[in-house]
Structure 1
Amino acid sequence: MRVGLLGLGRIGAFHAATLAAHPLVDELIVSDPVRTSPHGRPGDPFDADAVIIATPTSTHAELLTKACKLGVKVFCEKPVAGSVRETIEVLEAGAGNFVQIGFQRRFDAGYVQAAVALGGGELGELHRVHLLTADPAPPPAEYIPMSGGIYRDCHIHDFDILRWVTGREVVSVYATGANRGADFFRQAGDVDTSAALLTLDDGTLATLQGSRYNGAGYDVRMELAGTKGTWAVGLGPRAPLHATEGLRPTGEPWPDFVTRFADAYVAEIDSFLRADESPCSIEDALAALYVAEAAELSRREGRLVEVAEVRR
């Protein structure tokens, strides 16, 4: 299989190494205007059997649409596009084409085990969920104005994995936020600390927290509590937290998301290369985006927002 890779930034470089070592990849064609890679050869990435898009967000919609028009199997890092309207346009352009969107938590062993346990009845009836995503340090100041805000940029992963693990849809959101750090978040109309309450379509409540200033390390967790048991994802030996009762990390805390989800990223690309049906479609990405849009609207207006309000 010939594979084209667009973008050689942090995650693109990781994908290049994964693809170069994959037994199904006979040739890797890479494209980046400023970076080079020891893996693959420069060339037209669309002259391939499959294309992987790891370029800046602003380019995703155009590149996805081009790949779909060419009928090429395509993987794209989230988000599909910068807005709901553009996402729907790409969805329409990609009808009938294999498109997989990069929500790597679906391929993390911990989340997979939690989904299997919940689906198999080990937790009983689910009553509550808690989600946490906390970065050890904020991204560059110039990134924040174009990020879409913490709910679209960061917590969209939480919204996607909530849907995937529980099999339920979010129907309403009450979100808030605070600025406890650098002024560039406030200047961009964003927040560096986040919290939300989400109600699922069966009445289950989910709480969410986030931070751009988790100095102990990268921390991503999910807790699912039911009538028979409680399961937690992300409490491994590298989780960056201490408990007064004696819990201590036994390994170096996770420094970033690429390191934390390295195995998931490899599994995600393997799935893309082998699958005949997308495990994470544009429709899935749009559903998570609707929740992010509702959360951002709730934060800005200080009220409960029904997800139906932001649907197009």
Structure 2
Amino acid sequence: MPVIAVDKPLNLTSHDVVNRARRARGTKRVGHTGTLDPLATGVLVLCVDDSTKVVQFMEADSKDYLAWISLGAGTPTLDAEGPVEETGDVPPLNPAQVQTLLQSFTGPQAQVPPQYSAIQVDGQRAYAVARAGGALDLPARNVVIHTLDLLGIFPSVEAAPRTFDPQNWTPTNTGDTDTGRTFTLPPALGEFPTLLVRASVGSGTYLRSLARDVGGALGVPAHLGGLVRTRVGRYDLRDAANLDGLHEAAGIPDLAALDFPVIEADDRVARELRQGKRPAHPARGRHVVTLKGDLVAVVDGNGEALKVVRAWA
């Protein structure tokens, strides 16, 4: 069964989209490979029926975003849900200096997640505790930010571009949807200077935390005024299905969805992997093993033998 990339609309949770997919596809076996916040739009990858077996291997996919970072106003959720609970005067912003600042946030780092997140501590969801007026001690998590490109500095979210060239996700000079893709953002919380940033990040990175931290580096509170996810792994937003087309979306087979090199095994190697053995093989790193086009296993190779991560009969 297929893996389907969906363009999640504004104000729907990822679970809302999963429920719609279940109804549209006539199955309860639907999962997603990574939550997208209600106030964010863009690529949400769904695995249907037997494809749910590969979800765990897609959760670590890298992701690309367009992010509108509003400076001078902080919110409890770190996004445009609000309310504004802290303000500060934003210093004059020089594009070259801001790009240098953004560059300092790239690479491996420890990032503190938002209090309003799905992270669990001792069985408690952080967002549930936060909405009840409490707070959890959320330890910093190791993440990787690959690239951050400043696409412009604008006096507000409303003044920033919303129409983009889908080939490279840069702003176009027109709102004509024939030549660009126009996005709907949450209502702005006020007139706050806004950075438009194109980001490529590793799994587990919170763009809301990045907005908070960029503001902190500039000495002001900040929040994420808008967010669009343009890519997850090999799935690009320009190829994503809309919700109305879920019932007929073809997607791609689960094997093609796994973004790992492929080892075509013979009967002996496939049998040994399914038995939990470690057949000799020169491959290094994570691979998918197939037999006559069928998925056999996901393995890790050390240059001498293959270790099974998961195998299928």
Normalised by the size of structure 2, how large is the TM-score?
0.27
Question: Larger relative CO (CA 8 A, sep 6+): 1 or 2?
Answer: 2
Q: Greater strand percent: which structure?
A: 2
Normalised by the size of structure 1, how large is the TM-score?
0.27
- Larger Rg, first or second structure (1 or 2): 2
